[in-house]
Amino acid sequence: MSDATAKGLLTEETKTRIRELMAKYPKARSAILPALHVVQEQLGWVPEEAQDEVAQMFEMTPAEVRSLVTFYYMYHRKPVGKYVLKVCRSISCWLRRSEDVEHNLCEHLGIECGETTEDGMFTVVHGECIAACVNAPAIQVNDRFLLDVDPDNVSEIIDRLKAGDPRYPAAVESWKRPEESKGE
Amino acid sequence: MADDLVNITIDGHQMAVPKGTLLVEAARQIGIEIPVYCYHPKMKPVGACRVCLVEVENQRRPMMPACTTTVMPDMVVHTRSDNAVEARGAVLEFLLINHPLDCPVCDRAGECDLQDFTQKYGNGNTRFIEQKRHFAKSKQVGKNVVLDRERCIMCQRCVRFCEEIAMEEGLVIVDRGNRSEIGTFEGRSFDSKFSGNVIELCPVGALTAKTYRFESRPWEQQHYAGICNVSSLGVNITVDVRYDEVVRLRGRMNDEIDDGWLSDKCRYSHLAIHSDDRILSPMVRNDQGQLTKVSWAAALERIVQAFPENASQIGLAVGTRLSVEDGHMLLRLGRGLLKTPNVVHEHEAESLGTNTTLTGRVKGCDAADVILCLGSDPAKSHHDFELRIKKGLRNKARLICIGEQPALVGYADYQVIGVASELWSKLKKELKKETTEEESGLRFPKPRPWEAGGETSQDWDALVKEIRGAENVLVVVSGDIAGQGLQDVARDVEDLGWNTAPHGVIHLRSGVNPVGHESIGLIPEWDEDGNQALAKAWEGMNTDSGLSYAEMCRGKTEMLLAFGCNPLAQPESKKPKFLVQAATHPDETTEKADVVLPLSMWVEYNGVYISTDGTVQFNRQAILPLGEAQPAWSIARELCLRLGASDLPENPRAVYSEVGSLHAALAGATYKDFQTPGQYHWSYPQQADLGMPRPDLSAIPVKEPDMPMWMPAPLTGSTVEGAGRLHRGQTPPPVPGQRDPREIAKLLGLNHPMDRTAPPALTAGGAEKKDGYIPLRVVPSTSAEPAGPTPAGRHHEIGVGPRRRVAVPVAQTALLEASDAADNTTEDGGEE
Amino acid sequence: MSTLVITELMDIEGIDGIDTYVKNKGYEGLKKALKEYTPDELIEYVKASGLRGRGGAGFPTGLKWSFVPKNPGKPKYLCVNCDESEPGTCKDRDMVTYLPHQLLEGIAICCYAVGINQAFIYIRGEMLEGYEILEKAVEEAVQRNFLGDNILGTDFSLDVVVHRGAGAYICGEESALLSSLEGERGFPRLKPPFPAVEGLYACPTVINNVETLSTLPAIMRKGAEWYSSLGTERSKGTRVLCLSGHVNKPGNYELELGASMRHLIEECGGGVMGGELKAIIPGGASAPMLTKEHLDVALDFEAIAAAGSMAGSGAVIVINDKTCIVKTCLNLDQFFEEESCGKCTPCREGTKWLVDILTRMVNGHGRPEDIDLLKSVCNNILGNTFCPLGDSATSCIMSAFKYFPEEFEHYAHHGCSILEGKKEMAKS
Ligand SMILES: Cc1cc2nc3c(=O)[nH]c(=O)nc-3n(C[C@H](O)[C@H](O)[C@H](O)COP(=O)(O)O)c2cc1C
Ligand code: SF4
Ligand code: SF4
Ligand code: FES
Ligand code: FES
C-alpha cells in the first residue's frame, strides 16, 4: 500500500476509520460497504478516484469496487446536493400520495426527479420502501426519516431545511398500541 | 464401490452415476442434450441463466437447474416434458426480448449458442413490442477485446473467468437488475494475459476479438487440431482456417495440460503467419551485399558448393520451434551425411544434465500441497502455466517462490529473493535434517495472499515447515537457471524423494520443443551406447562430441546453417564465413546471412512436439505452406539428396516412423500413437465439452486427418515454380453448391482476403509494412521471451559441466506398446 | 385484548438505555438461559415454545438452530437480518430503535444455544438512526458484560458487530445477505450448501430476523409453555403486524396469532380510509392480494396460506376502492424490477417486461392480447427463478387477475382505468 505517496481524495481520518472498520471483521473485505459509507460521508458521493483508493486499501481490484458501488443504490455515483430528499415510491407510500409528494417537491424546487438544484442545495430522488410504511408517505433527508409528510405542504420541509436545521426532521413516533386505537 | 453410485432416471433411461454428478453431466453421458449458458465445466456452477431447467419429480419446486443440481437417489428427471420445454422456451424468450437480433453483422453468428438453442427450442415468434434496452454499440474494453453490451446475456462466464480462473482484475458486472452490464473500472482497459479466453467463453457475440472482427464466418472455416508453438508447455489449440488463411486460434481442452485455457501470447501467435514480413522465397546475397530472390535449386546449389572440406567446420543450429521430424532430418544431414559433430538445438545449454526421468506433470499443480518454484518467474515465461498454478492455489497448494526476482507477485505464500542455487542448497540442507515436530493446524484460517488482506511471508522457518508438512510437493525449475549450478537439482530432489509420486519435478524449458530435440540427440555430446541402431543405419556417421550452441554463435565454425533460430542475436556472436539461415521472419541473422531459405511455420506441416513435461503430441497441418516456404525436414532432405543419399523418407509420417525405428528414446513411435484417445485430440468446437451432443470423439477410432495431405513436391529439378501446389492467392477447389466468395466480393467492390497482393519481396533491410496486414510479430523467432532482465551472457556460457543424455521424461512406454498393437490392425498410408 | 410479548416494554420511558431496560427485567432471560440451561437444552426449549421465524418463511426457529453442526472445527456465526425492505414492513426498525437491548439479549440467547461467539447485525443502510442506536447499545451491553468476553462470569463470550448495508432489497434474502456481508454483490447463493452448514466465510451460520430474536427474552422470562399457549395450534405466540395503506390509523400492532384481519383493520386501524375496502395484501408486497371477502381470515401462517396468500413479513396493506388495481400492480412490480439483482434471466428480464406492459396499458395503449401476455409472462417467471424474489413479482398480478379481471379488461379494451369510466380508446 502506498498511502504515503498517493495524494488521494480520502483524508487521513477517513482512512483511519476505514482501517478500524476492517479490523472488526474476520475478513477485512467485509468492511467494504461500511467503508464506502464513510467515503460518501466525507465526499458526499463516491467518485472513481475514491473507489480506486478504497480498492487499494482493501487489496481489491478497482473494478470490483466499481461493481459494488453500482450494485448498492445508496452510493451516489455523481455529486449530489447538500440535502438529498429520497421520496419513497413503494406501495404503502404510493397509496398515500407519494407521487404528489415527489411532484410537488420537484415543482417547488424547479427540478426533475434525479436532479440537483442549481445552488447545489437539494437533490430529489425516488427510492423504494424505506421501512416507514405505517407513517406513509415517508421521505428521507440524508438518511434521516421524515414521516407522515403532507403532500400539499412540502414547501415547509424545504423552508426548514434552508433555515439550516441539520437534524430536521426528527423521527416521528410510529408505534401504535392496540389500546390506543381502541381508546379513540 | 456401489455405495458411490446413484440410480437415477432421465427421460425414462435408467442409469447409475457417481454421487455428486451434476444432472447436465449425467444427461450428457447418455447423449441427452440439456442446453447451458452460464454453466462451464471448469468453473463453479452459478445457476444464473436458467436455460438448463429440467423437471424433477416430487420436488417442491419441480423446475430445477440441471447445472447446479446433483443427482439424488432415485431421482426422476424429465428434460422433454411439457413443463421443461415450456421453461426452456420461456428463458430463451426472455433472453431475446432485449437482444438486438443483429446476427447478420455478428461475428458469432453460426457458432452462437443463443442462435442455436433458439432455433432448437425457441418459440419462433416475438411477443415483445416494447422498447428494447439500448447501449452504445461495440466498446473496446481491452487491447483486443470488443464488447457489445446489447448482445450480452449476463451468463457471467467472462466475469467468473477473471475472478475465479485468472484471479485478477478484469471484467465485472456494473449496476444491477436489467440495467446490468459488463464493464471494467472506468477508463481502464481489460488487458490480461488471458483476455482472449473470455471471447471464447462468451456463448454469444458480446465479446469478440478485434483481430477477428468481420474476418470470417464459422461455416467457411475448417478446424484443425494443433499444438501451441509459443511455449514448451504443449498447450492444445484449434486452428481455424478460412481457405488458406489462419483466422484465429482457440483453446482445445486438454485436462492434462491447459485445462482448456489459452493465453493471449499463444492465441494471437497466428498473426505472424500471415504477416507482411514473412520470408517467402529463397534468397542469396549478391555481390552488392543485397539479398536477391533465387529459385530453390539455385539457393540449394549455392549451399552445397559452400560446404567446407573439413566437416567439423560446419555447424547446424536447430530452433526449438521445429518438430521432432525436422530435428531428425537435420541430424541425418549433419551427423549422417556431412559427418560433422556439430548439430545442436538452440536451448541445449539448459538441459539439466541428468539421467533422471522427471516425473512432474503440469497437471500435478492440481493436487499439490506445495508448489515450489525455483528460478525466474514461471508465469512470465510460460503464461499458460500460470493458470494451472492458480488452479493449484485454489485447490490447496501453497506457493513458494525462490529466485533472483520476485515471481508470481501477489500469489506466492512465501517469496525468498536471492541467488536461487544458493538458496536451494540452504533449503536442501534444512529439509534433510531430521525432524520430529508436528506441523498440523497450519492452514486455517490464515488468509492467502491472493485473498484480500493476505500477505506474502518471507519467514524462512515457516517456509521450511510448510514444505516438510506437505505430502505432495511439485518442484518447478525454470529452464533458464538450469545452467547456474542447479543441474544438481534433479539429483537433490531425487534424494528428497520428490521425484516419485505423489511428488514431482517439472523443468520448465525455454523454446517449444527442446525436449523433443534432446530425445533425438541434438546436443553436443553423442551418446554412442544409446544410439547403436542409428549408427548402424547411418553408416559412417560422426559420433564425436561437438560444439555447443553458444560456441557456434560465436563463429567457431566456418559455415553455420541456422534452421529456425537466430544465432546472431546471441551475446558475443560473430558471423561465420558462410552463413545460411532458414527462417520465417527476418531477424539479426537474416541481415547477415549469405543464403536465406523460406521456412514453413508450424501450422503448415504435420509434426510431433514433446512438451516440457514429456507429453508427446501431434500438430496437424492446417494450411499449405505460404509462398515457397518449406518445412525444415524437407529442406534437410533436399540437401541430403544433393549429398548423394537415397531412400529418404518422403513425408513427415515416414520421417517419424524412422525416428521410431532409430532412436531409443522414442522407440517404436509412429503417427498411429496419436490415434490413442487422450494423446491425439481431434479438433472440435469447445462446446463439445459443455454438454453439447457432438459426437463423442474419444469413442470413434480416429482416422488419418481427412484433409488432403499436402506433400512437399520434391525439390529436385531446376525449378519449383508452381509445382502443382496451391499458393496463396490461387483459387481453391470450388465448393459444390457454393458461389465463389471472391466473385461476390468483386461484385461488391470489396477486396477479398485471398486476392490480396502477395507480400513484397524482402530487402536486406527487413520488411516493408503494408496496409491491410498487422505486421505484428507476437513471438520472437528465436526463443521464448527471456524472463526479466537477465545479465548478458548468462544463458549460453560454455563449460556448464558434463552433459549427459537426457532421458526423455516421457511416461510413454506404455503408450508405445499399445500403439504396437494398433499398428498391426490399422491401415497404413493415406497420406498421399 | 391481546397479550404483549415483544412490545411489552416498549412504552417505558428510556427503555432504549440499558439501565431502564435492566430495571424492567432486562437481560433476565439471558441470565436464566446461562444459569439454567445447557445449550442443547436451550435449543429444545425454544423448539418447545413453537417460535417460528418472522422474516418471511416462518421456519421453526429451534429446528433451524439444531441443524448447525456441534463441533465443525471452525467458527460459527449468527447473522441478524435487519434488512427490512419489503414494502409495507417497518416493524424491525421500531424494534431496533425502541428496544435495542431486547434484540441484543435475544442475540446472546441464540448464540449461547448454538455455540456462536460472533454475531453480525446486518442493518439496511437507510436505517442510519437504528445503526447508531445499536452501536451505542452494544457498547453499553459490553460494559455491563451482557456481551463481550466471559459473559456474566461464564465462559461464554460473544462479539456483536453492527453492519450497515447499502441499499438493496435482495440482501434481505439470507444467502444474498451473506454475499453482501462478505463484501460482494448481493447475489443469492446456491443452496445447498445451506447456511447452517456453510454460510458466512463458509462456516456454519444462523440467520434470524430481528423480531424472531426479540421474542426470545420474553420466552425465557415467562416460559416456553406460556408462549406456546398463545396463538393457534401451529402458529404460536404473537407477532407484530404493520398496518399501512388506506386505514385511518396505520401503525405497528402486536397481536396474538389467530386474530382476524377484520380485527386488525377495524379495531386497531380504525377502519378503511377514504372509501370501501377493495383489497388487502396480507404479508408484504410479495404476498398475493386478498379481498374484503377474506376479512375474517385469521392472520396466522396456515389460515392465510389456505386463503391463497402468505403471512410473509406480517405487513398488511389495505387498499380502498378508489384505487386502480392495474396501477397498484404496476407500482408493486416497479419495486421488484428496481430491486431484482439481475442474476437470473426470468427475473431480470421478466420483471422489466411486466413493468413495460403495465406501463403501456396504464398509458392507454393496452391491447386485448396483453391480458394473456401478462399471464403468460408471469407464468414464465414463476418457479423458474433462482430465488423467491422473481416469483414475488408475479403474485400481485396473478391475484389481481383472479379477483379483479375486469380492471385489466377495461384497460385493454378502453385504454383507461375502470374507475375513470369508458374513455375513447387511445390510439397508439
Ligand atoms: C427476496 C427476499 C427478501 C427478504 N427480505 C427479508 C428481510 O428484509 N428481513 C428478514 O428478516 N427476512 C427477509 N427474507 C427472509 C430471509 O431469507 C430469511 O428467511 C429470514 O431472515 C430468516 O429468519 P427467520 O427464520 O427468523 O424468519 C427475505 C427473503 C427473500 C426471498
Ligand atoms: S459478455 Fe458474454 S460471457 Fe460475459 S456475461 Fe455477457 S454473455 Fe456472458
Ligand atoms: S430471482 Fe431476481 S433477485 Fe433472485 S436471483 Fe434471480 S434476478 Fe436475482
Ligand atoms: S412503502 Fe414507503 S416506507 Fe415502506
Ligand atoms: S442455469 Fe444452468 S446453465 Fe445457466
When pLDDT is averaged across residues A11-19 and rounded to a whole number, the result is 96
Once rounded to an integer, what is the mean pLDDT over residues B425-429? 85
Residue C34: count of CB within 10 angstroms of its CB: 17
Q: Residue B493: pLDDT above 70? A: yes
Judgement on whether residues A67 and A98 belong to the same structural domain of the protein = no
Interface contact C312, partner B, CB < 8 A: no
User: Using a CB-CB distance cutoff of 8 angstroms, which residues of chain A are in contact with residue B451?
Assistant: 27, 29
Q: How far is CA C293 from CA B473, B530, B555, C10, C289, in A?
A: 73, 97, 103, 34, 11
What pLDDT shows up at residue B438? 47
* C348 to B62: CB separation less than 8 angstroms, yes or no: no
Same-domain pairing of A67 and A91: no
Same domain, A106 and A170: yes
Give residue-wise pLDDT tens across range A157-167.
Answer: 898 888 876 55
* Count of C-beta atoms within a 10 Å radius of residue B678: 10
| Chain A residues within 8 angstroms (CB to CB) of chain B | 22, 26-29, 48, 51-52, 58-67, 70-71
Cα of B40 to ligand 5 centre, how many Å? 9
Q: Which of A6-15, B1-10, C288-297 has the lowest mean pLDDT?
A: B1-10
In a domain, A3, yes or no: no
Task: Tell which atom from ligand 4 comes closest to the C-alpha of A137.
Answer: 2
Whether A152 is covered by a domain: the verdict is yes
* pLDDT higher than threshold 70 for residue B808: no
A105's grid cell: 417537491
Report yes or no: B257 and B614 within 8 Å, Cβ to Cβ.
Answer: no
In the predicted structure, residue B640 carries a pLDDT above the cut 80: yes
Query: Does residue A65 sit in the same domain as residue A90?
Result: no
Domain endpoint, select from A48, A71, A94: A71
3-state SS string for B787-812: CCCCCCCCCCCCCCCCCCCCCCCCCC
* Residue C239, amino acid: R
Provide the 10 A C-beta neighbour count for residue C295: 16
Are A115 and A170 in the same domain?
yes
Residue A6 resides in a domain: no
Q: Residue A108 falls within a domain, yes or no? A: yes
Provide the CATH number for the domain around residue A41.
1.10.10.1590
Do A67 and A88 fall into the same domain? no
* Better-scored residue on pLDDT, C91 or B812: C91
Confidence of residue B268 (pLDDT cuts 50, 70, 90): very high
Same domain, yes or no: A65 and A19: yes
Q: Which is nearest to B256 in space by CA: B240, B283, B235?
A: B235
| Domains identified in chain A, total number | 2
CB C240 within 8 A of CB C253: yes
Same domain (yes/no): A67, A87: no
Q: Is the pLDDT of residue B544 over 90?
A: yes
In a domain, A31, yes or no: yes
pLDDT at B487: 65
Task: Tell me if residue C269 falls in helix, strand or coil.
Answer: coil
Residue nearest to atom 29 of ligand 1 (CA): C173
Contact at CB, C340 and B176, closer than 8 angstroms: yes
Kindly report the protein residue whose alpha carbon is nearest to atom 3 of ligand 5.
Answer: B36
B665-695 confidence digits (pLDDT tens): 888 888 877 764 433 333 222 333 333 233 2
Q: Is residue A25 in some structural domain? A: yes
Among left, alpha and beta (phi > 0; psi -120 to 50; other), residue B336 is alpha
Give the span between the Cα atoms of A157 and A159, in whole angstroms: 5
- Report if residue A67 sits inside a domain: yes
Q: What is the DSSP letter of C244?
A: E
Q: What CATH number does the domain containing A105 carry?
A: 3.40.30.10
- Of B269, B165, B272, B275, the closest CA to residue B226 belongs to B269
> Bridge-partner residues for B285, per DSSP?
B291
- Whether residue A91 sits in one domain with residue A142: yes
Please list every residue in chain B whose beta carbon sits closer than 8 Å to the beta carbon of residue A58.
452-453
When pLDDT is averaged across residues C173-193 and rounded to a whole number, the result is: 96
**What pTM does this model have?**
0.87
Position with higher pLDDT, B811 vs B511? B511
- Which residue range(s) make up the domain with A119? 83-175
Answer yes or no: is the C-beta of C387 below 6 A from any ligand 1 atom.
yes
Task: Give the separation between CA C321 and CA B378, rounded to whole angstroms.
Answer: 73
pLDDT of B356 reads: 59
Residue for cell digits 444462523? C206
> Which string of b and e fits B245-277 if b means at least 16 CB within 10 Å?
bbbbbbbbbbebbbbbbbbbbbbbbbbbbbbbb
Query: Of A26, A42, A71, which marks where a domain is finished?
Result: A71
* A109 shares its domain with A170: yes
User: Rounded distance, CA C359 to CA C378, Å?
Assistant: 16
- Domain membership of residue A2 (yes or no) is no
β-strands B314-318, B578-583 pairing: unpaired
Domains of chain B: 2-95 (3.10.20.740), 105-112+131-272 (3.30.70.20), 283-352+515-670 (3.40.50.740), 362-434+447-508 (3.40.228.10), 728-832 (no CATH)
The answer, yes or no, to whether the previous bond of B445 is cis (omega within 30 of 0) is yes
Residue A58 sits in the same domain as residue A94: no
C-alpha A128: how far from chain center? 12
Tell whether C352 lies on the interface with B, counting CB pairs under 8 A. Answer: yes
Q: Do B451 and A27 touch (CB under 8 A)?
A: yes
- Report residue B480's pLDDT band, with 50, 70 and 90 as the boundaries: low
Chain C, 173-202: which have a CB under 8 Å from a chain B CB? Answer: 183, 185, 190, 201
**Which residue is listed with cell 539439466?**
B352
> Which residue in chain A has the smallest CA separation from C320?
A95
Looking at residue C2, what is its pLDDT? 66
Q: Hey, how many other C-beta atoms are within 10 angstroms of the C-beta on B622?
A: 28
B39 Cβ below 6 A of ligand 5: yes
Per 3-state DSSP, what percentage of chain C is helix, strand, and coil (rounded to 5)? Answer: 45, 15, 40
For position B355, what pLDDT does the model report? 56
Cα(B503)–Cα(B431) distance, integer angstroms:
15
What pLDDT shows up at residue B504? 85
More confident residue, A145 or A184: A145
B655: pLDDT strictly greater than 60: yes
C-alpha cell at B128: 415483445
Q: pLDDT tens digit string along B730-782? A: 333 333 333 444 454 444 444 443 443 333 333 333 333 333 222 222 222 23
Q: What is the pLDDT of residues B604-624, one digit of tens each?
A: 999 999 998 888 888 888 888
Residue C323: list chain A partners with CB under 8 A. 95
Q: Are residues A149 and A90 in the same domain?
A: yes
How are beta strands B291-293 and B283-285 bridged, if at all?
A: antiparallel
